[in-house]
Amino acid sequence: MIKYRNILVVIDPLHDEQAALSRALYLAKREDEAKITALLSIYDFSYEMTSMLSVDEREAMRAGVIEERKQWLDEVLKEYRSQGIPIDAKVVWHNRLFECVIQEVLDQGHDLVVKSTHPHPTLQSIIFTPNDWHILRKCPTPVLMVKEHDWPENGNILAAIHASSDDPSHTTMNQNIATEAKDLCKLLGANLHVVNAYPSAPVNIAIELPDFDPQRYNENVHDFHEKELGEFVEQHFSCPLTSHLREGLADDVIPDVAAEIDAEIVILGTSGRSGFSAALIGNTAEHVIDQLNCDLLALKPDNFVCPLADTGNTN
């Protein structure tokens, strides 16, 4: 089975234990001829502000720091390299981690990015968009965000879809999620679960229309989504699975179901928004990531265009 042959791992510079690298190795061992690149992005603004030094001297200082961190990374990789999977070490001087990661993907054609993630303080998330969010929005290849959660044998994988959408791009995304989920379940020997959230009756309609029956409305909506989900499952899955149809926002339903089944991975699609619309709206992956206690695999739409690919503009 060929799934991930060229994996990029984003190294955490603050820890010797690398959760993302461990996860990448777990996947690579189940592939044929898989390889891993361990990418460490470093930057120290003080080196740019040393006005007393010439350009060549600053370059030499940066080279010295890069070499020092390369030695640290090689030491960290010793244990991981002993497991038989080729791991290349790459240290890059760059002031924006997400740009460094995405450029590496564009240059080297990686088919998966693996990065450990940590909770984002609410205020920080409002003022500064974390690197995780930039990578989720702008990386052209699937992104696996890793948390401190085991991948047990015979574990559970949760695929989040919106089966009732008549938007062609959503339909294609649902199909891609289904394919990814089936492949990963086969690769990891996991059990497959599918979740579909549907909305409840809008409160303003219930208030404005005296004869409106919210219970009847909700029953009709449930029946419609149940039919759509059943048809999607029948069409796209031949393997055994468990379906979860829940009323509520996807941002809430997905983490709830993931917690109930103790999922090891949640698979969902991202809108790929960037710029002002992303700052205002965000997307489900970003809303869900901090609520999950498991890994998140985010996929891009087929028509996604990476902002760095042509213009180099990542805002």
pLDDT digits (tens, 9 = 90+) for 172-189: 999 999 999 999 999 999
> Residues 6 or more apart from 57 whose CB is under 8 A from it?
none
Joined together, the tokens standing for residue 160 give: 């989040």
Neighbours of 267 (CB within 10 A): 25
Confidence (pTM): 0.88
CA distance 302 to 35: 25
Nearest to 139 by CA among 185, 108, 184: 108
* pLDDT bucket at 29, cuts 50 / 70 / 90: very high
Q: Does 20 score more than 90 pLDDT?
A: yes
Residue 203 has pLDDT above 60, yes or no: no
DSSP 205: H
User: What distance in Å separates the CA atoms of residue 138 and residue 305, rounded to the nearest whole number?
Assistant: 8
Whether the Cβ atoms of residue 1 and residue 55 lie closer than 8 Å to each other = no
Domains of the chain: 1-116 (3.40.50.12370), 149-315 (3.40.50.12370)
* Mean pLDDT along residues 297-301: 91
CA 46 to CA 11: how far, in whole Å? 22
pLDDT, one tens digit per residue, over 59-115 is 888 899 999 999 999 999 999 999 989 999 999 999 999 999 999 999 999 999 999
Residue pair 294/180 in contact (Cβ under 8 Å)? The answer is no
